[in-house]
């Protein structure tokens, strides 16, 4: 855990000047410094205007899936599979937040200068062969041996939604090009309920460190502040070890 927290700290030190510049850019884009918006002599926010002009030029509508066979052989099965994949992609675009995620990425590309999105595989599992209530094996049998099936889980539904990653919630290792980067990290702020759902018993003892909100942190009533506290958890994808690690300072 300490190794990865050190890697994240090294990244923060290296990219601190860039992060400060991005925060200034976002303040200018939001026009946080304007005192009187109704004043005729107030400055015009040209950054906001230019960004809103460029954004639809970069991305303005959902893409159209186009799945086709590489070779134009007489292959009815291959054609049918291509149609299935094309319709599955179209269904995924219509039923997930793809459009919102890409629009957020475009804004990150135009302002901070770095856009990150990732696709996650999310299966929905169901218990088969053994009921959860009685733990009694069902009447299903193997075709070959005829013995009763033991309880196991099978995929009931699956999807692969795309998720926008905010520019300051992403970390990565060093490298001259992307192929040399050995790890990437994603920051999550999880509530107690989310910690318990994801990590089980361990999630119930992890310390909630902050609310990531200055106004709530300054609240004198500790009970009020504690209701909004979360835990900063880092999801590390280690390329060399081929594993995913979750690390946090909360003890």
Quote the crossing angle between the two packed helices 46-58 and 98-110, to the nearest 10°.
130
CB of 1 closer than 8 Å to CB of 235: no
pLDDT at 224: 61
* One-character DSSP codes across 76-119: HHHHHHHHHHHHHHHHHHHHSSHHHHHHHHHHHHHTTS--EEEE
Other Cβ atoms less than 10 A from the Cβ of 29: the count is 17
Dihedral sign (CA 200, 202, 207, 212): negative
* pLDDT over threshold 70, residue 89: yes
Chain-centroid distance, C-alpha 7: 20
pLDDT at 141: 47
pLDDT at 228: 77
Range ranked top by mean pLDDT from 51-60, 70-79, 137-146, 211-220: 51-60
Q: Which are the contacts of 7, defined by CB distance < 8 A and separation ≥ 6?
A: 171, 173, 183, 185
Question: Using H for helix, E for strand and C for coil, what is the string for 211-242?
Answer: CCCHHHHCCCCHHHHHCCCEEEEEEEEECCCC
Separation between Cα atoms, residue 247 and residue 3, nearest integer Å = 10
* pLDDT over threshold 50, residue 138: no
* pLDDT over threshold 90, residue 172: yes
pLDDT at 37: 57
Separation between Cα atoms, residue 18 and residue 114, nearest integer Å = 11
Separation between Cα atoms, residue 251 and residue 249, nearest integer Å = 6
The answer to which of 175-179, 218-222, 235-239 has the lowest mean pLDDT is 218-222
pLDDT at 233: 92
Token code pair at residue 49: 């205007």
Quote the crossing angle between the two packed helices 2-30 and 46-58, to the nearest 10°.
110
| Residue reference for tokens 């410094």 | 33
* pLDDT over threshold 50, residue 137: no
Separation between Cα atoms, residue 57 and residue 41, nearest integer Å = 31
pLDDT at 98: 92
Q: pTM surpassing 0.75? A: yes
Q: What average pLDDT does range 73-86 have in this prediction? A: 90
Residue 188 φ/ψ, nearest 5 degrees: -125, 145
CA distances 141 to 125, 130, 153, Å, are 20, 12, 16
Separation between Cα atoms, residue 170 and residue 173, nearest integer Å = 11
């Amino acid at each position: 855990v300490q190794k990865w927290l050190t890697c994240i700290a090294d990244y923060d030190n290296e990219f601190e000047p860039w992060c400060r510049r991005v925060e200034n850019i976002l303040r200018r884009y939001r026009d946080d410094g304007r005192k009187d918006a109704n004043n005729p002599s107030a400055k015009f926010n040209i950054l906001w205007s230019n960004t809103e002009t460029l954004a639809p030029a970069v991305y303005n509508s959902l893409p159209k899936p186009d799945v086709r066979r590489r070779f134009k052989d007489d292959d009815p099965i291959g054609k049918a599979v291509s149609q299935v994949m094309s319709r599955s992609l179209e269904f995924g675009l219509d039923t997930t937040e793809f459009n919102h995620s890409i629009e957020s990425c475009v804004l990150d590309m135009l302002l901070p200068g770095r856009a990150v999105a990732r696709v996650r595989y999310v299966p929905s599992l169901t218990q088969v062969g053994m009921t959860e209530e009685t733990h009694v094996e069902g009447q299903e049998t193997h075709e070959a041996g005829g013995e009763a099936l033991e309880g196991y889980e099978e995929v009931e539904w699956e999807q692969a939604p795309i998720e926008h990653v905010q520019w300051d919630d992403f970390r990565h290792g060093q490298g001259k090009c992307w192929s040399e980067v050995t790890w990437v990290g994603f920051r999550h702020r999880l509530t107690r309920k989310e910690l318990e759902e994801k990590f089980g018993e361990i999630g119930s003892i992890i310390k909630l460190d902050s609310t990531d909100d200055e106004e709530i942190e300054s609240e004198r009533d500790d009970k009020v502040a504690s209701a909004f506290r979360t835990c900063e958890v880092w999801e590390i994808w280690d390329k060399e070890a081929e594993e995913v690690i979750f690390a946090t300072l909360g003890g």
